[in-house]
Amino acid sequence: MLDPKLIRESPELVRAAIARKHLDVDLDAVLAVDAAWRTHLQETESLRAQQKAANTAMAALPKGSPEFQAKLAEMRTLSGQVKEREVQLKELEEKFRQAMLTLPNLPHASVPDGRGPDDNVVHALHGAHDTPRPHAIPHWEIPGFEKLFDFSRGSKVAGAGFPFYVGDGARLVRALVHFFLDENAKAGYIEANPPLLVNEASATATGQLPDKEGQMYETTPDRLYAIPTAEVPMTNFYRDEILDEAALPVYRCAYSPCFRREAGSYGKDVRGLNRLHQFDKVELLKWVHPSTSYDELEKLRGDAERLLQKLDLPYRVLLMCGGDLGFVQSKKYDLEVWSAGQKRWLEVSSCSCFETFQSRRAQIRFRNKDTGKPELVHTLNGSGLAVPRVVAALLENNLQEDGRVRIPTVLVPYFGKEFLSFA
């Protein structure tokens, strides 16, 4: 959510932001609702002030006296007016809130112009993705793949997109999660283990509701939502709280399974481990002082990149253009790992800065130690990393002629062996 003052005082900035994100949003409609709401608010408050004054005067009079009766009549009239106004005011407030929710976050000045994915800027390339790998094949075609990643049993038991990880498959997933958490701890992120189901208020604060309701699994009868990412419970950790300025920046990381209905996605992009309804991910989160957020974004991206470097996987960094940035982000980098068998890039991390867009909705603030006043923090997050696509890349990039997969050196202590075997 944007600052209402911003749209009043600098509507041209917001208009420019909407244009850069290539969104079709009617700012003038929002401004009109805002103006109507403010006018109505002032009238209502002045009526309430009259009501309060009459009440105070009335309280000083003897009950039942003629003066008291006169005041009572006045109060009755005022009360009726106030009630009528309050109903209208509430409707306007809700309209205004809904209108504000249609406004996207402003892109940062460093975000490149562009309409869609083709306009994203390749910010960095790391590793030799173009090295010929003659025997590389898509991971789902590797002989024995179904033994370690049992999609058939998974779909029998739960549905498509819910594989069983078995033997070395399960071991590899566990090793990666463990490795990611340890590396992130070294980088200063405090590990947390969040609730996997969240309530409506939490899902709303991070923006999953109401827009993306169909993308989440919802439980009955308690109306809890299965988290699509640890970002949801983790960002809500400090919801409605005021932090000490000295406590900033706060770094957290959290492993969690993620549940996504992925309604409407089909095709070859979703083969194998590319897109699942349930997958494992380690998420990095930051709550920072507004003056530092873009430095923190670079550091966050570096922290996620280091994981891929240590795993010795070729990857590239995309700086997302305005049109592909997303509604809530002010700046975003995607990390894509090279998948040698599929010969395509797979997104394994998305590192974003939200400035105050999330923190305003979630009311996450810090107390400015100079002014003593609460101010909104800036929030950032990024994957570090999403597991199944890393697994896919590892299988495809490290597959040997003998059908075994070489485990990266850093992962060997976690995996316990130097090779993964499909036998």
Give the interface segment with RNA, choosing from 58-66, 178-186, 269-277, 408-416 (CB under 7 A): 58-66
Whose Cβ is closer to RNA: residue 102's or residue 155's? 102
Nearest distance in Å: CB 50, RNA: 8
Question: Could you tell me the CA-to-CA distances from 189 to 18, 126, 216 in Å, in that order?
Answer: 34, 24, 27
User: Is residue 46 involved in binding RNA (CB under 7 A)?
Assistant: yes
Read off the tokens for 322.
Answer: 């305005």
User: Is residue 267 involved in binding RNA (CB under 7 A)?
Assistant: no
Among 9, 26, 28, 45, which residue interacts with RNA (rule: CB under 7 A)? 45
Window 362-401: contact mask with RNA (x via CB under 7 A): ---x------xxx---------------------------
Residue corresponding to tokens 């400015």: 368
Nearest distance in Å: CB 219, RNA: 14
Read off the tokens for 86.
Answer: 């309050």
How many amino acids of this chain bind RNA (CB under 7 A)?
29
User: Is residue 49 involved in binding RNA (CB under 7 A)?
Assistant: yes
Whose Cβ is closer to RNA: residue 54's or residue 137's? 54
User: Is residue 48 involved in binding RNA (CB under 7 A)?
Assistant: yes
Whose Cβ is closer to RNA: residue 47's or residue 176's? 47
Give the interface segment with RNA, choosing from 39-47, 118-126, 331-339, 394-402 (CB under 7 A): 39-47
236: how many CB neighbours lie within 10 A of its CB?
A: 22
Residue corresponding to tokens 């920072």: 288
Residues 312 to 371: which contact RNA by CB under 7 A?
365
Residue corresponding to tokens 């507004």: 290
Residues 67 to 86: which contact RNA by CB under 7 A?
72, 75-76, 78-79, 83
| DSSP single-letter state for residue 218 | B
Among 27, 41, 101, 196, which residue interacts with RNA (rule: CB under 7 A)? 41
54: how many CB neighbours lie within 10 A of its CB?
A: 17
Among 11, 15, 27, 38, which residue interacts with RNA (rule: CB under 7 A)? 38
Contact at 8 Å (CB) between 20 and 113? Answer: yes
DSSP alpha helix (H) spans, 129-208? 145-148, 151-157, 168-186, 200-205
Question: Could you tell me the CA-to-CA distances from 113 to 117, 196, 324 in Å, in that order?
Answer: 11, 37, 10
User: Is residue 192 involved in binding RNA (CB under 7 A)?
Assistant: no
Contact at 8 Å (CB) between 205 and 236? Answer: yes
Read off the tokens for 278.
Answer: 């349930």
Among 6, 55, 217, 326, which residue interacts with RNA (rule: CB under 7 A)? 55
Contact at 8 Å (CB) between 280 and 181? Answer: no
Give the interface segment with RNA, choosing from 53-61, 108-116, 128-136, 351-359 (CB under 7 A): 53-61
Contact at 8 Å (CB) between 405 and 417? Answer: no
Residue 401, classified by CB atoms within 10 Å of its CB into exposed (0-12), middle (13-18) or buried (19+), is exposed
Q: Which residues bind RNA (CB under 7 A)?
A: 4-5, 38, 41-42, 45-46, 48-49, 51-53, 55-56, 58-60, 63, 72, 75-76, 78-79, 83, 90, 365, 372-374
